[in-house]
A and B are shown apart, each in its own frame.
Chain A
Amino acid sequence: MISSRAPDRGVIVIEARPLAKTALVLAATAACILRFGLSVAAQDPGRPVAGISGRVIDATTGEPIARALVTYSNTRASAFATKKTETGSDGRFLFPDVGEGLFVVRSELVGYASAAYGDAKPLEKFVSHLSLRPNERVDVVIRMWRTGVISGSVIEQDGQPGVQRAVQAYRLQGGERTANGHVASTDDRGQFRLADLAPGDYVVVASPITAGNKDLVHNTYYLDATTRVGAVAVPVRPGEVTPGIDLHVEVTARPDFGQRVGGVVTAPDTEIGGLVINLFPATADTPPAEDVRTTNTDALGHFSFAGVPQGNYKVQVVRFPPWPTNDNGYRQVASTQPDGGMSYGRQLVSGTPGFARASAPSQLPKGVTLVGAAHVSVADRDQDALEIHLLPGAKIRGRIVFADGVAPAAEDLLRAAPIIIPADGRYLGNIPQGPMSADGAFQSIALPPGRYAALIISGLSEWAVRSVAADGMDITGLPIELGASDVDVVLTYTKKLTSVGGTVRDDRGAVAAGARVYLFPREAVLRVSTPMAMGPSLVQREQSGPNGVFELPNVIPGDYLIAASRDLPEDWMSPDFLRSLERIAAPLHVTLGEAKTVDLRIPSSR
Chain B
Amino acid sequence: MRSLLLGIGALYVIAVGMGVAGQQAPARDVTTAAPPRATGSGTISGIVLSAQAPLQPIARATVTLSGQGPVRTTLSDQDGHFSFDELTAGRYTLAAVRPGYVKMTFGALGPDRAGTPLAISAGEHLDALTITLPRGAVIAGLVTNEMGRPAQGISVRLMRFQQRNGARTLVSPAPVGGGIISMQTDDLGSYRLFGLPAGDYVVSATPQEVASLSGTRGSLPASAPAAIYVPVYFPGTTVASAASVITVVGGEERMGVGIPLSRVKAAALSGVVMNPLGSPRGAVVSLDSRSPAWSGPSGLGSDVTVGDDGRFSFSGLAPGDYTVKAVMPLIAPAVGRPASELAIPSAWGRTEVAISGTDIRDLSLLLQPALTFSGKIAFDGPDVPADIAGRLRIALKPEPSPGLNATRSADIQSGGTFRIVGVVPGEYRIVSAMAPSDASGWALASATANGRDAVDLPFDIGPSENIADALITFTRATQQVSGVLQSELRVPSSDYTLLIFPTDRAYWRDGSRRTQTTRPGTDGRFVVRGLPPGDYFLAALTDLEPDAAGDPSVLELIAPVAIRFRLAPGESKIQDLKVTTP
Q: Which residues of A contact B (CB under 8 A)?
A: 110, 149, 156, 158, 160-161, 163-165, 185, 187-188, 193, 195-196, 212-213, 215, 251-253, 325, 327-329, 350-356, 360
Contact = CB atoms under 8 A, between A and B. Distances in A.
A406 to B, nearest CB: 30
Contact of A187 (B192, B284, B340): B192
B338 A325 contact: yes
Interface stretch (B4-12, B299-307, B463-471): B299-307
A252 B60 CA distance: 8
29 contacts: A110-B152, A160-B59, A160-B60, A164-B99, A164-B180, A187-B194, A188-B100, A188-B192, A195-B152, A195-B187, A196-B187, A213-B99, A215-B60, A251-B75, A329-B338, A329-B339, A350-B338, A350-B339, A350-B340, A351-B339, A352-B340, A354-B299, A354-B301, A354-B303, A355-B343, A356-B333, A356-B339, A356-B342, A360-B335
B299 A251 contact: no
A149 B187 contact: yes
Interface string B339-376: 11011000000000000000000000000000000000
B546 to A, nearest CB: 21
Given A188-B192, A193-B188, 4 more contacts: A188-B194, A325-B338, A354-B301, A355-B342
A539 B447 CA distance: 75
Nearest to B284: A355
Of A165, A193, A352, most buried by chain B (CB within 10 Å of CB) is A352
Contact of B303 (A213, A253, A351, A355): A355
Interface string B542-576: 00000000000000000000000000000000000
Most buried by B among A156, A188, A253: A188
Nearest to A328: B339
A353 B74 CA distance: 41
Contacts of B520: none
Contacts of A215: 60, 62, 75
A252 B180 CA distance: 23
Given A325-B338, A327-B334, A253 B99 contact: no
A353 B187 contact: no
Q: Which of B78, B99, B333 has the most CB of A within 10 A?
A: B99
A185 B195 CA distance: 14
B136 interface: yes
Interface string B299-337: 101110000000000000000000000000000011111
B138 interface: yes
Nearest to B77: A253
A163 B195 contact: yes
A197 B381 CA distance: 69
B186 interface: yes
Contacts of A158: 59, 78
Nearest to A358: B333
Nearest to A252: B75
Given A156-B60, A215-B60, A354-B301, A188 B343 contact: no
A576 to B, nearest CB: 41
A30 to B, nearest CB: 15
Nearest to A184: B186
Contacts of A188: 99-100, 136, 138, 192, 194-195
A91 B194 CA distance: 42
List the 9 closest pairs (A to B, CB-CB), nearest first.
A351-B339, A163-B99, A195-B187, A188-B194, A164-B99, A253-B75, A163-B100, A188-B100, A354-B301
Contacts of B98: 163
Given A158-B59, A163-B195, A352 B337 contact: no
Nearest to B194: A188
Contacts of A195: 152, 186-187
B198 to A, nearest CB: 15
A181 B343 CA distance: 39
B100 A161 contact: yes
A350 B341 CA distance: 12
Contacts of B188: 193
A328 B336 CA distance: 8
Contacts, number: 81
Nearest to B337: A327
Contacts of A149: 187
A355 B339 contact: yes
A195 B338 CA distance: 42
A165 B74 CA distance: 18
A407 to B, nearest CB: 25
B339 A352 contact: yes
A327 B333 CA distance: 9
A357 B155 CA distance: 27
Nearest to A111: B187
B220 to A, nearest CB: 20
A325 B339 CA distance: 11
A353 B62 CA distance: 38
Nearest to A151: B186
B75 to A, nearest CB: 4
Contacts of A185: 180
Interface string B399-430: 00000000000000000000000000000000
A253 B338 contact: no
Contacts of A360: 335
A328 B333 CA distance: 9
Interface in B98-143: 98-100, 136, 138
B489 to A, nearest CB: 40
Contacts of B59: 158, 160
B187 A213 contact: no
Interface string B155-196: 000000000000000000000001010000011100010110
Nearest to B138: A188
A252 B78 CA distance: 11
A354 B75 CA distance: 45
A163 B302 CA distance: 39
Nearest to B339: A351
A353 B195 CA distance: 34
Contacts of A329: 338-339
Contacts of B178: 212
A148 B265 CA distance: 35
B257 to A, nearest CB: 15
Nearest to A195: B187
A120 B186 CA distance: 29
Interface string B480-524: 000000000000000000000000000000000000000000000
B15 to A, nearest CB: 38
A195 B284 CA distance: 42
Contacts of A163: 98-100, 194-195
Contacts of B187: 149, 193, 195-196
A165 B180 CA distance: 12
A164 B178 CA distance: 10
Nearest to A211: B178
Contacts of A165: 99
Contacts of B62: 212-213, 215
Contacts of A355: 284, 303, 339, 342-343
A55 B136 CA distance: 51
A156 B333 CA distance: 57
Nearest to B76: A253
Contacts of B303: 354-355
A327 B187 CA distance: 42
Nearest to B338: A351
Contacts of B195: 163-164, 188
Contacts of A356: 333, 339, 342
A158 B194 CA distance: 22
Interface in B278-309: 284, 299, 301-303
Nearest to A356: B333
A291 B338 CA distance: 39
B333 A253 contact: no
A302 B378 CA distance: 47
Given A188-B195, A351-B340, A327 B78 contact: no
Nearest to B305: A356
Nearest to B78: A158
Contacts of A253: 74-75
